[in-house]
């Protein structure tokens, strides 16, 4: 399957479940009972494939039947949507793909297909670098704006991905200051990924498409409708390791995001404000419900680092497969190092450096003597590795970071 076919199949899937409101449970049942191979082969679904599945109830059968009857219309929708996607350079990521965000796999009720525009690699960066969602009101006070800018910039500088909803106010500030700080940002839209809402955020939307990532669970061409916003909010919180609520009114949609985050087991941080300030009552309610108070950036970074660390531990077995191939490569490099060290590129040296550091922390002098490298060359490599967040110095010795 090439990427266009994948995209087509994914859009077909979206149109199919949307047409009759078929839930993911039904689709999962179809896959489990081998009626279809994967969501991408939904196109080949026929009535006899699912007729015998006993775990489906009668209303499910009705929905599937009517969806099959409306196949012509679904195909038309798919064509239209596919065209929009092609023109706008929108791609899809489904649960079949490796890039499908790790948090989505671990949580229930996440969409099986998401549409993206921009740098798709940010989806995996979310789990490797950690991410923070910054949400809040559309009409923030200057205090909350200032704090948003501050936290967004500092977190971006640490390499943490900033997730928000591309709304006015806090969302906008969070995205724009992250981009200014040359950080990675993900905007989760309520409508299709081609559909900027509100329209006045078009400028920043364009920038995010180039330097960040725009994500949506709706197929291209979908208009942003009021009822889509809460489900968009659950994606924002799902994509992040911690949720920062900068300012929220009593009936704010931000409270949805916060409660989704809490339900998904993410830390919620609320920026404190005056109790006489009406527009932050929602935030104060969250605090009284047990949310953390946001006053020190290091608490957020600690919490994200912890999540990243646990994920790293959890994913260790899958990495074991790679270890053998890496080992043989390192052996080869070591031979080269002994015989003719001129042939080694700086990237090769970096691999060797990281390999040295897997055993124990080492200082630069030890590294220089073990790699037989003059310090002037070594220091360049070490600095670059540090900037790439692959190593760091603690107690005068270099160690590998968990990222």
Partner 1 sequence: MSTKYSITTVFSSFMYGIVAIPVQIEVYLTPGINTFDILGLCDSSIMESRGRIRAALVASGYSFPHGHITISISPSYIKKAGTNFDLPIAIGILIASKQVRINCSKKLYAEGELSLDGQIKATPGGALRLSCAKKENYDFYYLPSDQKPSCKCASLSCSLNETLLDCIESMKRKYCPIKYSLDTVEEDDENYDVSIIKGQPKALRTLFISACGWHNVLLVGSPGCGKTMAGRLIKLLLPPLSNDEVCEIFALNNAISRTLESEDSISASRPFRYVIQDTTTSILIGSNSKLKPGEVVLANRGVLFADELCEYKKGVIDCLRQPMEDRLITFNKDGNEYKFPTNFIFVGSTNPCNCGNYYEKKSKCTCTEAQRLRYEQKISGPFLDRIDLFCEMHRVDNDGLKQIAFTKTDGEIRFLKEKVAQCWLVQKERARQAGIEECLNGQMVEENLVEIFRADKRIIEYCADMSTLYSCSARGFLRLLKIGRTIADIEGHKDIEQSDIAEAFSYRNREFGVGKY
The residues that touch partner 1, with contacts defined as CB under 8 A, are 157-158, 181-182, 297-298, 301, 363-366, 368-370, 374-376, 378-380, 382-384, 386-387, 393, 395-397
Closest to partner 1 by CB, 316 or 375 = 375
CB 283, min distance to partner 1, A = 24
Closest to partner 1 by CB, 43 or 364 = 364
CB 377, min distance to partner 1, A = 9
Closest to partner 1 by CB, 255 or 385 = 385
Question: Nearest Cα to 28, choosing from 8, 3, 47, 53?
Answer: 53
CB 342, min distance to partner 1, A = 17
Closest to partner 1 by CB, 33 or 299 = 299
CB 141, min distance to partner 1, A = 26
Closest to partner 1 by CB, 262 or 378 = 378
Closest to partner 1 by CB, 99 or 386 = 386
CB 296, min distance to partner 1, A = 9
CB 77, min distance to partner 1, A = 45
């Amino acid at each position: 399957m090439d990427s266009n076919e994948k995209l087509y199949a994914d859009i077909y899937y979206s149109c199919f479940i949307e047409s009759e409101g078929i839930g993911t449970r039904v689709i999962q049942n179809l896959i489990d009972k081998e009626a279809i191979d994967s969501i991408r082969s939904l196109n080949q679904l026929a009535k006899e494939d699912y007729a015998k599945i006993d775990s489906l109830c009668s209303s499910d059968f009705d929905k599937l039947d009517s969806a099959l009857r409306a196949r012509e219309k679904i195909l038309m929708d798919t064509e239209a949507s596919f065209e929009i996607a092609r023109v706008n350079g929108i791609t899809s990521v489904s649960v079949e793909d490796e890039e499908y965000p790790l948090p989505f796999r671990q949580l229930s009720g996440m969409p099986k297909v998401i549409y993206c525009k921009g740098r798709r690699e940010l989806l995996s960066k979310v789990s490797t670098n950690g991410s923070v969602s910054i949400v809040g009101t559309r009409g923030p006070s200057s205090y909350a704006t200032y704090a948003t800018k501050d936290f967004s910039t500092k977190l971006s500088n640490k390499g943490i991905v900033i997730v928000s909803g591309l709304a006015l106010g806090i969302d906008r500030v969070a995205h724009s200051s992250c981009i200014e700080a040359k950080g990675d940002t993900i905007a989760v839209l309520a409508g299709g990924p081609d559909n900027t809402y509100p329209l006045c955020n078009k400028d920043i939307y364009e920038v995010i498409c180039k330097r960040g990532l725009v994500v949506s669970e709706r197929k291209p061409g979908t208009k942003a409708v009021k009822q889509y916003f809460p489900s968009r909010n659950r994606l924002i919180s799902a994509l992040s390791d911690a949720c920062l609520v900068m300012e929220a009114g009593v009936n704010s949609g931000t409270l949805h995001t916060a409660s989704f985050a809490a339900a998904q087991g993410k830390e919620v941080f609320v920026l404190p404000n005056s109790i006489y300030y009406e527009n932050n009552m929602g935030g104060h309610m969250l605090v009284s419900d047990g949310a953390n108070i946001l006053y020190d950036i290091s608490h957020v970074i600690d919490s994200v680092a912890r999540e990243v660390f646990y994920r790293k531990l959890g994913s260790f077995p899958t990495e074991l497969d790679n270890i053998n191939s890496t080992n043989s490569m390192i052996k080869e490099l070591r031979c080269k190092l002994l015989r003719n060290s001129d042939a080694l590129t700086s990237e090769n040296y970096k691999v060797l450096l990281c390999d040295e550091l897997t055993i124990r922390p080492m200082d630069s002098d030890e590294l220089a003597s073990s790699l037989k490298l003059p310090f002037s060359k070594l220091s360049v490599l070490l600095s670059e590795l540090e900037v790439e967040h692959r190593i760091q110095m603690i107690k005068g010795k270099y160690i590998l970071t968990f990222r």
